[in-house]
Amino acid sequence: MSAVDTAPGLTARESELLARVPDGLYIAGRWEAGTQDPIQVQDPATGRVIKRIANARPEDGIRALDAAAEAADAWAATPPRTRAEILRRAFDLLQERRDDFALLMTLEMGKPLAEANGEVTYGGEFLRWFSEEAVRISGRYGSNPEGTGTMVVSQRPVGPSFFITPWNFPLAMATRKIAPALAAGCTVVVKPAELTPLTTLFFAQLLEDAGLPAGVVNVITTSTSGAVSAPIIADPRLRKLSFTGSTPVGRALLAQAGQNVLRTSMELGGNAPFVVFEDADLDAAVNGAMLAKFRNMGQACTAANRFIVHESIAEEFAARVTERVSALRVGRGTDEGVTLGPLIDDRAVASMAALVEDAVSRGARVLTGGAAPEGDGFFFEPTVLVDVQPGSEILREEIFGPILAITTFSTEEEAVARANETEYGLVGYVFTQDLARGQRLIDGVDTGMMGLNTGLVSNAAAPFGGVKQSGLGREGGLEGIHEYLSTKYTLIPA
């Protein structure tokens, strides 16, 4: 660890915390300095560099896999109760270090401190949930139908696993993979996003403090993700690839994983429909919209992307959300009262401006926001668009920012058809007080998850994941641990 390069504008508390975050690669239980130009981590609220950390080369990635492969047999043979207790200690330590983790996420990623605290809770729940699941891995035992033998079905750890995580939820996207893998008895190499690597490094230190043996979790940070990841994925010792990120990168990784027929979990992009019927409780719909759209500054795979609102209430819905959106306070996430932080980088800001311009050129109207404010940091005004026309980019692309785009519909059939008009299928939101209609939408909308009269569905005890081009596999819930187990069947003749 080295002293932080105290950037102007950091408080003493922020500098002290950043100085405690490791800046090396974590391989086989040791922190190693990088051997090439460091990664410069920025605060997106100011654009300033807040820390420099090691930048792995491809050979560092292979050494991390060496460590995971070496530790694999001993970890698989570690009693489930011991694995569970380490996860539980990690959960407890995370609660003790809650304020540090929340502040660190706000500093490197930008989300308001209250939301960062919410992520500590959510991310921590995967540790607690899978500490409970570790001791409940079971199989089956019974006669075969012919009566000539006994069939034994057991579950084994898949083996060394490689995780690639995104920048938008720096803690939860890591714990959602690491916790079930450790519970199942797998060792791992984690590559966090280069934009927000600090939380994963800080978390690796927490795992060590919780008693995790060397080599079970290894962390490599790099600015050359493709070059470092490809040799790991091509190595025959690797047995599993789990990726959370954009659909184009997911497709490329699936192709690479095909070479060695790896088990894969893919949590990819979303384009969530948010359907509001004329019989909806409008207060609930407006609250749900604020949560589903503006949490994490709209940078969530579960963010509502297309608001599909019944024509008879569209004007009132738009007026009410506009009032709420105009009251959002934009600023650095550490500042008192801020409810909307910056976007992750300048490319994201440029992409918001382009989406608004395209929608407006096709006939949309801006009710509030619509531009990047003057000044430092990667901010974009929270925006409401109405009269968004079919064919607009904003309906097709994952927005990943604070723009609420409203279109209207007249019949239920039209609402379902429009909700499904996308290659994605992660989550859908429906607001109606008619339960039968709600059930028809749950059945008719082609997604892995649905929220009925709510704008937030994520829970460590629930299976999170998508269909279509939103991905493969589930994280969390009873299902989550099975991503890291393979089924073995044995026949014992009678």
Residues that bind ligand NAD (CB under 6 A): 164-168, 173, 191, 193-194, 225-226, 229, 244-246, 249, 252, 267-270, 301, 398, 426, 466, 471
User: What whole-number distance in Å separates Cα of residue 94 and Cα of residue 207?
Assistant: 10
Query: How far does Cα 348 stand from its chain's mean position?
Result: 17
**CB-nearer residue toward ligand NAD: 75 or 167:** 167
Minimal distance, residue 143 CB to ligand NAD, in Å: 41
Minimum distance of ligand NAD from residue 173's CB (angstroms): 6
Q: Is 207 helix (H, G, I), strand (E, B) or coil?
A: helix
Residues 6+ apart with CB under 8 A from 467: 425, 446, 447, 448
* 265/432 with CB nearer ligand NAD: 265
Which among 281, 297, 293 is positioned nearest to 321, based on CA atoms?
293
Least separation in angstroms between CB 59 and ligand NAD = 16
Cβ atoms 125, 460 nearer than 8 A: yes
Nearest-angstrom CA–CA distance, 218 and 378: 32
Measured from the CB of residue 374, what is the shortest distance to ligand NAD in angstroms?
Answer: 26
Amino acid identity of residue 91, one-letter, is F
Identify which of 396, 53, 47 has the alpha carbon closest to the alpha carbon of residue 200: 53
Shortest Å, Cβ 225 to ligand NAD: 4
**Shortest reach from residue 255's CB to ligand NAD, in Å:** 11
Q: Which is nearer to ligand NAD, 27 or 426 (CB)?
A: 426
267 is a catalytic site residue: yes
For ligand NAD, give the closer residue by CB, 319 or 354: 354
Give whichever of 183 and 219 is closer to ligand NAD, judged by the CB atom: 219
Cα–Cα dist 284/339, whole Å: 19
- Among 108, 208, 301, 398, which one carries the catalytic annotation? 301
313-322 burial, b at 16+ Cβ within 10 Å, e below that, comes to bbeebbebbb
CB 298 within 8 A of CB 111: no
Q: Which residue is nearest to ligand NAD (CB)?
A: 245
Q: Which residue type, as a one-letter code, is found at position 264?
A: T
Give least dist CB 481 to ligand NAD, A: 17
- Per the CB < 8 A criterion, the answer to whether 405 and 307 are in contact is yes
The Cα 470–Cα 303 span in angstroms is 13
- Burial (CB < 10 A; 0-12, 13-18, 19+), residue 223, is middle
Q: Between residues 106 and 222, which has the closer beta carbon with respect to ligand NAD?
A: 222
Do 257 and 241 touch, CB atoms closer than 8 A? yes
Beta carbon nearer to ligand NAD, 185 or 425 = 425
Nearby residues of 204 by Cβ (< 8 Å), 6 or more positions away: 22, 26, 190, 217, 219
Q: Which one is catalytic: 108, 267, 475, 483?
A: 267
d(CA 119, CA 101): 9
> Shortest approach of ligand NAD to residue 471 CB, angstroms?
6
Which residues 6+ apart lie within 8 Å of 192 measured at CB? Answer: 165, 167, 170, 174, 199, 200, 201, 219, 221
Residue 103 or 193: the one with the smaller Cβ distance to ligand NAD is: 193
Which residues are marked as active site? 267, 301
